[in-house]
Chains A and B, each alone.
Chain A
Amino acid sequence: MTLLAGFRELYDYRELLQTWASREIKARYKQSLFGFAWAIFQPLAFSAIYVLVFSYIVKVPSDGIPYPIFVYSAILPWTFFARAVVGGVPSIVANINLVTKIYLPRAMFPLAAVATHFVDFLCGLVVFAALMVYYRVPLNPTMVLLPVLFLIQLLLIAGVVLGASAINVFYRDVNQMTPLLLQLWMYACPIIYPVSLVPDWLRPWYLLNPMAVVIDAYRQVVLKAQLPAWDHLGMAALISVAIFVLGYVTFKRLEGRFADLI
């Protein structure tokens, strides 16, 4: 009941969410030479490194897809996930002076971090579109599933960021652990390698990672014109929803103590 009231309140504050997110974006690129170009450049640069290492030096198979677009199609959603988490986890601690001085729904801070990196994600999509043209990837009817995949990913991100940012107020260790855990998590996703390389005995466990399933599904629907395996996708959706609920409930339970503890 109170959870729903919280959603309703967030909706009432949607203009704030929007203004806050745009403040973050403006402030982030304000005194920088290349501004928004960074949003595009970073995932692109990472992709280039991976192409160099895993396509030219180590020959990693990519299910017959050109390696650059193979890796970029995974780097893009992963960068969104990782950077939203890195930005979102310390967001409440970083806004101490607001948390202790003015009332506003506290969930706004981590969610705004997610929103700002969503904008970066959109910028990266432009590059992806260019790659699709270059590698002559046709528009497939399976791509209608993209919003569903994106929603699953979004719920997962929001759940992780909400829960972790709230716990980070009490234990700053969370923020310290974040890069390490993300590194681990990245290797647990089919980003530089295809799922087909994962040993059969490991695969059922491997596919419990919703991010792995979502990334693979992106590739399937966009690059291979295939439908994802429903059982895995359903499981990923279920786990993402569970993580979202858990993260949100954790956040709501802890948020009353933020102003006293910080």
Chain B
Amino acid sequence: MPTSSDAVIRLDNVSKRYSLRAGQESLRSLVGAWGSRLLRRNGSDSGQDHFWALKDLAFEVRRGEALGIIGPNGAGKTTILKLLSRITPPTSGTITLVGRSSSLLELGAGFHPDLTGRENIFLNGVILGLTRRQIKERFDQIVAFAELERFIDMPVKRYSSGMYARLGFAVAAHVDPDIMLVDEVLAVGDAGFQRKCYDFIHAFVTGGKTTVFVSHNLYVIEQLCDRVIWLDGGQIVMAGQPGRVLPAYLDHMDQKALVSKTTAESVDGHLRVAQVDFTDAEGNRREAFTTGESITINIKYQAERPIASPHFVLGVVDAQGGPPLFLASMLVDGNVPPSIAGEGVLKCKLGSVPLMPRVYYVWGEIWAADRTRMLMKWQRLASFRVSGTGEEPQQEVGKGSIRHQRVDAPIRVPYTWDY
């Protein structure tokens, strides 16, 4: 990869291997290992007892750049930050860092519960590389930032977890490093303090300092970062501008969220939902639709014996979870089939579905004729994807557009402005 002279962070073919064996080994296990080695002669270094958290990773971060690292759990994101903050060395490869770095990996990690807030500010500040003089100069700012003026001479073990985290962030924020390494710390404290942390980091980034973020919060990544690395299995899947990488990442996660086929059974076992699929207005089977299209949910059932008046309830649920976005319920509309028996297909046609692009789940339940007994409990049946609005945004796409297109409100209701 090209080497630019203003790179302040550089990774060359960095790999990190972790042992899968438990950390605690007693002397006996050491002796035991020797014994078995003597017996078996060839060491069992087959690769089953370790895994590679990072593999031949190479990238640079230029001075003043804000780099975001995204990826599913276990992709190696936190390992990168641990390597960059020198907590653990790479198994192979080299890491170069120019300037003083500060990591917001764990807030208040160095606090001692028995010491007061004041004593801990000095302790933590020194741990993070400040001199006592610098801390004295910044002390009032730190306390004001943490909003803990009244509690500063109280042992931190009596702090609430929010106060603890606030003090931790306040100290870390006043180290004034050249490079800041941030790992999911924006989730501390109440909304007001989160805003404050966000603003602080924003000011740090726009002030021309170098930052590396690890986050699952794509809002934050999109808002703050100039460049994003998408990591999976310890390797780079894609790197580039957020506007390019984030949609690709979201598409990929959508694909993974699609469940292929679900079968469900009634409580007594006499009724089975064998398959659920989706068709469009022309009756073609599809799993991807555009916003505003009509979607028909086809439920193939098998009833071992005739069932009178089964009440079907279907709901469309956001893949992120939460309550159903809307329901189609025979309990409400009373439009109930008189009886079902053997194999058959029940169709539910949703006209003009106002969903924004992402993955949705169809959940369902079935009630008996008396409407008090449940035949099949509420469960996930299938998933479908909405993959495009069918119209291009009129506004120039800039920061925040992905958030509005992809992450915010799931439902789009047709609207007009009048002014």
Chain B residue, CB-CB nearest to A100: B87
Report A72-85 CB contacts with B as 1/0, cut-off 8 Å.
00000000000000
Residue B128 at the chain A interface, CB threshold 8 Å:
yes
Residues of B1-57 whose CB lies within 8 A of A? 18-19, 23-27, 30
Cβ–Cβ contact A15 & B131, under 8 A: yes
- Tell which of B24, B89, B123 touches A19, judged by Cβ atoms closer than 8 Å: B123
Report B51-82 CB contacts with A as 1/0, cut-off 8 Å.
00000000000000000000000000000001
> Contacts A97-B106, A262-B23 known; A102 to B87 CB distance under 8 Å?
yes
The bracket for how many chain B residues form the interface is 20 to 34
- Residues of A close to B30: CB separation below 8 A: 171
Cβ–Cβ contact A19 & B114, under 8 A: no
Chain A residue, CB-CB nearest to B28: A173
Cβ–Cβ contact B25 & A26, under 8 A: no
- Tell which of A30, A104, A259, A260 touches B127, judged by Cβ atoms closer than 8 Å: A104
Cβ–Cβ contact B115 & A256, under 8 A: no
- Residues of B close to A103: CB separation below 8 A: 85-87, 103
Cβ–Cβ contact A102 & B88, under 8 A: no
Residue A180 at the chain B interface, CB threshold 8 Å:
no
> Contacts A16-B127, A19-B126, A102-B128 known; A173 to B87 CB distance under 8 Å?
no
Cβ–Cβ contact A102 & B26, under 8 A: no
CA distance A140 to B30 in the complex (A): 52
- Residues of B close to A97: CB separation below 8 A: 106, 109
CA distance A137 to B97 in the complex (A): 59
Cβ–Cβ contact A102 & B85, under 8 A: yes
CA distance A15 to B134 in the complex (A): 12
Report B96-120 CB contacts with A as 1/0, cut-off 8 Å.
0000000101100110101100010
Residue B122 at the chain A interface, CB threshold 8 Å:
yes
- Residues of A close to B89: CB separation below 8 A: 256
Cβ–Cβ contact B27 & A171, under 8 A: yes
Chief secondary structure at chain B's binding surface: loop
- Residues of A close to B371: CB separation below 8 A: none
Residue A54 at the chain B interface, CB threshold 8 Å:
no
* Minimum CB–CB distance for B184 against chain A, Å: 13
Cβ–Cβ contact A98 & B127, under 8 A: yes
Residue B132 at the chain A interface, CB threshold 8 Å:
yes
- Residues of A close to B109: CB separation below 8 A: 97-98, 101-102
Chain B residue, CB-CB nearest to A173: B27
- Residues of A close to B112: CB separation below 8 A: 23, 27
* Minimum CB–CB distance for A27 against chain B, Å: 5
Among B27, B30, B115, B132, chain A packs the most CB atoms within 10 A around the CB of B27
- Residues of A close to B103: CB separation below 8 A: 102-103
Cβ–Cβ contact A172 & B24, under 8 A: yes
CA distance A98 to B108 in the complex (A): 10
- Residues of A close to B25: CB separation below 8 A: 170-171
Residues of A87-146 whose CB lies within 8 A of B? 97-104
- Residues of B close to A260: CB separation below 8 A: 18-19, 23, 88
Residues of B124-155 whose CB lies within 8 A of A? 126-128, 131-132
- Residues of B close to A15: CB separation below 8 A: 126, 131-132
CA distance A30 to B122 in the complex (A): 17
Residue A31 at the chain B interface, CB threshold 8 Å:
yes
Chain B residue, CB-CB nearest to A104: B127
- Residues of B close to A102: CB separation below 8 A: 85, 87, 103, 105-106, 109-110, 127-128
Cβ–Cβ contact B88 & A20, under 8 A: no
Chain B residue, CB-CB nearest to A177: B27
Residue A261 at the chain B interface, CB threshold 8 Å:
yes
- Residues of B close to A101: CB separation below 8 A: 87, 105-106, 109
CA distance A166 to B26 in the complex (A): 14
Cβ–Cβ contact A256 & B119, under 8 A: no
Chain A residue, CB-CB nearest to B101: A103
Question: A-side interface residues toward B, CB under 8 Å?
Answer: 15-16, 19-20, 23, 26-27, 30-31, 97-104, 170-173, 256, 259-262
Question: B-side interface residues toward A, CB under 8 Å?
Answer: 18-19, 23-27, 30, 82, 85-89, 103, 105-106, 109-110, 112, 114-115, 119, 122-123, 126-128, 131-132
A-B contact pairs, 28 of them (CB 8 A): A15-B131, A16-B127, A19-B126, A19-B132, A20-B126, A20-B127, A23-B123, A27-B112, A27-B114, A27-B115, A30-B115, A98-B110, A98-B127, A100-B87, A102-B85, A102-B87, A102-B109, A103-B87, A171-B26, A171-B27, A171-B30, A172-B26, A256-B88, A256-B89, A260-B18, A260-B19, A260-B23, A261-B19
A-B interface, 10 closest residue pairs, ranked by CB to CB distance from nearest: A101-B109, A101-B106, A103-B86, A259-B88, A173-B27, A256-B89, A19-B126, A16-B126, A261-B23, A27-B114
